Structure 1
Amino acid sequence: MLPTYLQRAFANPVRVLTCVSMATALVACGGGGGNPGGTTAVTPGTPTNPTPGTPTPTTPVVPAEPKMTVQLVDAAGLPISTLSGGQAGQVKVTLLDAKGNVAPNEVVKFTADETLLQFTPVSGSALTDASGVAVITVKPASVTSAGAVNINVVAVAGGKTVNGGINLAVGAAPLTLGTIKFVPERKEGEILPAFGTAVLQIPITTGNVAATTAPGLTINSLCTNDGTATIVPGALDKGMQSVTYTNKGCLRETDTITVSLGNFNQTIKINVGKANIGTIQFVGSDLAGSSIVLRGSGGLGRKESSILTFRVLDQNSIGLPGVDVTFTATTTTGGLIVQPSKATSDASGNVTTTVASGTIPTPVRVVAQASRNGTTISGLSDSLIISTGLPIQKSMSLSADSYNIDGLNFDNSIAKVTVLMADQYGNPISDDTAVNFVTEGGAIATPSQGGCKTKDGGCTVELKSQAFRPVNGRVTVLAYVQGIEDFIDANGDGVYTCPDFTRADPKDITTPYRPLIDTCKSGGEIAKDQGDPFLNVGNLAIIRGNPGGNTLQRDPDPKKDRKYNSAIGDLPFPYNRTAYSVDGNGQWGLNYIWRETEIVFSGDEPTFIRQFRNDDGSLRDWTTADGPVNVIAGLSGTNCSNQVLFFRIVDVNNNPLPSGTTVTAADADKVQPGSVSPNAIPATSRLGGTEHWVSIKKETNCAPGEFSIKTTTPRGKSVSSYLFKSG
């Protein structure tokens, strides 16, 4: 049984709470646990309260939290604070729970800027082992990544989240210079002649990966410092920096090229030839463009002649005076002349001549030759100061945006005709190359030029419908330009090669074969001797064809070939000859290269010709044996079914209607025709017009019905066929 004073205390809850609190503070409650030496007495049943206004001091209880430590270490386990290039490191996390014990089998997540770092595994997560340690591999995102970054770490231990992280610096891998060399490699003792070029290749890597940029790369040479050579860097492609080295007549015999990048330095030597007489360059003409008009067609700002200027240079590219220069034209077609044929360079090395037009449209170049101290040089004129590759026959094409324009009954309908050309390497030819166009009907090109000048390898002219209109509506367009005949460059030197030739200047015994000047007698590379073009206005025509290519018969006789025939109006364009030649001149060289196409002046009155499908899938035209032309059998009556109508559409000349003309089913009664396919006339010059078909859905009860076919030209003219009836 409790003592009396304890019974009183438990009978009063307030006193009990006070006692418990005081017990916690190790203070006597109800006379128990007091200070034996004290003089203060506590009356049982009377609460003990602190002095009013004085708070009771308490110590807050802070819950324990999990902890982690984060380290970045290298492959040897040593702490690091940076990563660079392809270097990899490990992020090591040690996880403790709230009681300070290791926390195994917990998921740890790692995140960082993906442009600077990447994790392995890519999930960016790892599991703590029995020691509470999680490890993940990290490395720079690329060899060029650089900057400062924080790796953020998040984990959960004992149901509580803990965060951590570590900062590090990411540096790009250093650039490394590989072994430099000329491509192709130069033979021992091989000399690069004056104004010749060689290509130097410089390998650059970063962290064993091909570099995409090379800041700090420097390239120079002894001759470039002298001003007698140039070094022109190209693009850095897949870690390979290409450099074009040009010998401008260096006098050192051997040039040393130095390439530097960071702490790397390399040198390479090249033997260079001294320039003697130098070179002759085409400067330009007195024309705003490059076009002169036919003889007798001058006036109103149009010129029949042009002054061409060349410049003779010495080995240091300085004008050389007092040099006799002779001039020859690459063609004399139509009586074209060059005057004077010989002139002397002035104090600046300049020399001029005049080209006067003939009576036949043609592009022309002028060859300038100069001799001094036993050396002969030559230069070829162009509308550009320096030209690149010449157009070659195999890389010339001709096309139009429409091969059937609404031009039979209307003037000024337009087809845009485009010519594209490239050299033997497939590169677009020089800008401002002159192309001539001629046509048997309508009008083509502009009043200032009977053709166009190329830009980016091609140019476009307009063919306009007007008189003259061929009776059959089919118009041939011919484009021709001065270029080179096809050949196979067996030795890869970029020019036609011939071991047995006749020099244009017999006294010039030291000059090697010049393909556009000298005559190859035998043994030349395989080539095609190009015949002369002609404007084909006869029985046959080529549709987007090549010279001598596939033909489309206008005449019903299939034995006829495409041949020049002046008696029926064919118009020839001989090259350096007085008459048309189908076989060429017997050797490779400059010639007219050409393409032709056929464009239809279409009528706008359609004729609808019904067709039937043969067993082999081909189509044939309706005949009287097929029954009434406008009755579609099986579309009505007993056991009727859906049917398909085949037909073609032609104009008055059996040619297609104008391109863009729409074709639709109209005026339907009971039966339901679908959409016509194709529903528009395409761009085509096909004889026999265009073929179409339409599916017709029968009437539910097989009742007779009807519908028509309707055409609407781009000018808005609509015509419907007679009604097709179900039968």
Structure 2
Amino acid sequence: MRFLQIVGAGVCALLITACGGGGGNPGSSGGNGSQPAGTLNLQVVSGVAGTQTFSITASEKTAKAKIVLKDKGGAPVKNTIVTFSETGGGLLKFSPDSKTALTNTNGEAEIDIEPVSTTSIGATSVSATAQVSSEAVTGVQNLAVTSAVVIGVNPQLVASALNFISVDPSDKSIVIAGSGGNGRSESAILRFRVVDKDGNPVKDVLVDFAAVPTTAVTLNVPSAKSNADGIVATSVSSKSTPTAVIIRATVNSRDIVSQSDQLTVTTGVAVPRGFDLSASKFNLNNDISGDNSIIRIGIIDANGNPVSDGVPVIATVDFGRVGTSGRGGCTTVNGLCTVEYQVQNPRPTDGQAVNVTVSTQVGNGVQISDTIRLSSTSVGNVDFYDATGAAVSTIALTASDLDPKCKATLRGQIGTPAGMPAPVGTNVELKSSSDIVVSSVTSGNPTLDSRSLTRTPVTLQFELKDAVVSGRATIDFKFTAGTTVGSNVKTITFPACTPV
């Protein structure tokens, strides 16, 4: 235990005006050479060993102000009330609240003192006053209250509670090991604060940490000491498995425990099987510059979770344009992003697909890529082909093709000579040169958008009206896509037919 010792004579040497200008005697009420009524020695005892000290810490809980009172002959003065006080700073509190104690047979009296809070830091004075032979005898000592934990004071005993403060990243989520990057952290820092019974921070308290479950993450800092603000921190790093984890903090050798909010470990690196491309439109109009399709890119990790935000994706194309001038691709948000493809020069010729290739790089240096194929065709190249895909110049109806109502159904294909589809939304209209033949499209009109870059199946119907004799006519196949129109004329021959 350490002692802060204050002797009346020493005080008068420091406080000359309080002792009659230096000519008075310590421990007396006046000067002019008169003998003091007695002496009052004041000590501050700190810690178990009673070590004398001239400073205590702001977290001190074991300090006592102790006096020894003697008369002028050196004999102990018993059963005398001693009044203790602080004469500066307002940094201390006394117990009991009366700030008084009664001397025992040895002339001793003591009182507990402690800082008002752990932030009560600075200089102050402790004084004690007693009446000896009707005269006041006083001892005064300057005292420092510091934030440092001094030898002999165990900060572990000062700690009263442990509070979870924060986690960084603030969204309480880290990514699977190996999938970190810009905006994606594989580690987290968790902070706790050690406080005393009044809620004030305590420095140099040893805190132990543990992960629950223990194998969920790598615990980088198993134990640490609190700083001057009572803050103690640990960090964890993710492993290869998505999970949820809680970090427990325990004041070493004390039954004081706290825990963090739940921290999630998720969203690993992209995997090839989780790389998905789709388009808002597959068959574009080669005659319209700016005709567009939105390419959706979806990326997940091996566990089926969307990859972290900010994964860069690059898009390239062999015909037309893709992306923007600021970015040739996109960056993911919730595992998704989009790029826009537009028709422009260079354009594909008939039979050439538009290949939009999308790729991203994963942490191990492996590139993941996929290609989505679009078509860009001109209405001027669109024509009608039979069910086998052969070109048709003449449609020959026979009696066996007609039903009792003189109607015939013909299945075929709409597309280009090289087997590509018509632009999506192409409208097919049939116009006969004869009132005898009524023709129409019963399915495949307008042309459907298909991911398969092939001609579109179509079903045509022909009905003969008053075909008393066989004959021939022409059928104009009109193809319209937006403002673009294409046309092909076919000859149709038919037998005589009377509806039943």
Query: Which of 1 and 2 has higher RCO (CA within 8 Å, sep 6+)?
Result: 2
TM-score (norm 2): 0.45
